[in-house]
Copies of this chain bind each other. A is one copy, B any other.
Amino acid sequence: MSEDEIAPVARTVTIQDVARLAGVSTATVSRAIALPDRVAEATREAVFSAIRETGYTPNAAARSLRAKATRMVLVLLPGLGNSFFTPVLDALEEVFSSQGYGVLVGYARQSRSRETHYARLIRGGQVDGVLVITGNVPRDEEFVAVPETVPISLMFSDIPGTDQFSVFDVDNRLASATLVRHLIAEGHRRIAHIFGPEGSTESEERLLGYRDAHAEAGLQVDDALVWRGAGNFDFVSGDRAAAFYLSAAERPTAVFAAADEIALGFMRGLKNHGVSVPDDVSVVGFDDTEYAEHYDPALTTMRQPRTELGRLAAADLLRRMMAKGETLPRTHLRLPCELIIRESVRRL
């Protein structure tokens, strides 16, 4: 209560201070913390009480320098604009922080200087592991040498032609085929596809699945119904794609959008022109983000197990980071997707 009980001005307290107060050497303090049973009972008590009294917290930089490990992982995303990533990041943070790791986020796309920044972070030993989400490993010259330094894993998207990364994804092709097969089973014959971002593996795979389902059913794909150039996995792209529908020579009865957000934007765009879903046209998306379920109409889509994939990828990376020195063989984990049927498809 009295004036002198106010906390003293925060001067950085080091292991030296604790050692002095406890009347032992710094080595003993360090041991008392890291290997408590290598230290005599009484000494341990003395050290811990000195720690409490001083409010000592080990300096992370000093520790990292010696241990050559930072207990930090870097998660590289193409951007957070899309709600697709939030459960993934949630899961990652949960697993990593529970093991005492910090999660650094970065958006690698677009800016060259950004890429360099993150490449440096990795090469400077600032992180113990890296998770690259959706295929955007900086193809920086500097970066190429990296996988030897720290483990790097890929999520949701493989990089064709390399096998140096562990991969955690789904079979986009198969899942898309299943989705389109569902439309066909509901009686649709004229099905359009809103293609995702150009240059992404997922986009290509989803298109292949779309074709597969057509081929299986003996249906011809009308190339005029593969709508490219919409842009990203976002609303705006979907909204823009509505124009393709409206101006189609012969309108499709169903549309497979490469992502939920595209599907939602598309439906909204249609609505502005008086076209109703699913009465006039059926729509399916991909991902099963939170909004798919709550939109009106609720969206039929293909669920990607985002949280689970996040947990598993994190656990795997953790294992690799622990295995300092030897390189474990790469993991390629593919989890199944699930068809979620809601209200946006009408049986013909």
**A290 CA / B289 CA spacing, docked (Å):** 14
**A276 CA / B264 CA spacing, docked (Å):** 20
**Counting CB contacts under 8 A, is A42 at the interface?**
no
> Chain B: which residue is nearest A70 at the CB level?
B61
Interchain nearest-CB distance for A115 vs B (Å): 10
Chain A, residues 91-128, CB within 8 Å of chain B (1/0): the string is: 00110011010111111000001100110110111100
Chain B residues in 8 Å Cβ range of A49: none
CB pair A100 B80 closer than 8 Å: no
Number of this chain's copies in the assembly equals: 2
Chain B residues in 8 Å Cβ range of A295: 268, 295-296
Interchain nearest-CB distance for A21 vs B (Å): 17
Chain A, residues 256-278, CB within 8 Å of chain B (1/0): the string is: 00000000110110010000000
**A102 CA / B70 CA spacing, docked (Å):** 14
Q: Using A81-B87, A87-B81 as known contacts, say yes or no to A97 and B123 having CB atoms under 8 A apart.
A: no
Chain B residues in 8 Å Cβ range of A268: 294-296
Interface stretch (choices A5-13, A29-37, A165-173, A280-288):
A5-13
**Counting CB contacts under 8 A, is A79 at the interface?**
yes
CB pair A148 B10 closer than 8 Å: yes
Chain B residues in 8 Å Cβ range of A164: none
Chain B residues in 8 Å Cβ range of A120: 57
Chain B residues in 8 Å Cβ range of A82: 86
CB pair B61 A65 closer than 8 Å: yes
Contact residue among B10, B12, B94, B106 (Cβ-Cβ distance under 8 Å from A93) = B106
> Chain B: which residue is nearest A122 at the CB level?
B57
CB pair B107 A105 closer than 8 Å: no
Q: Using A60-B124, A61-B70, A291-B291 as known contacts, say yes or no to A104 and B103 having CB atoms under 8 A apart.
A: yes
Chain A, residues 111-153, CB within 8 Å of chain B (1/0): the string is: 0011001101101111000000000000000101100110000
Additional A-B contact list (18), CB under 8 Å, known A93-B107, A98-B114: A10-B148, A59-B125, A60-B124, A60-B125, A60-B126, A61-B125, A62-B65, A79-B90, A80-B87, A80-B93, A83-B83, A83-B86, A90-B107, A94-B107, A103-B104, A103-B105, A104-B104, A295-B296
Chain A interface residues (CB < 8 Å from chain B): 7, 9-10, 12, 55, 57-62, 64-65, 68, 70, 72, 79-83, 86-87, 89-90, 93-94, 97-98, 100, 102-107, 113-114, 117-118, 120-121, 123-126, 142, 144-145, 148-149, 235, 239, 264-265, 267-268, 271, 290-291, 294-296
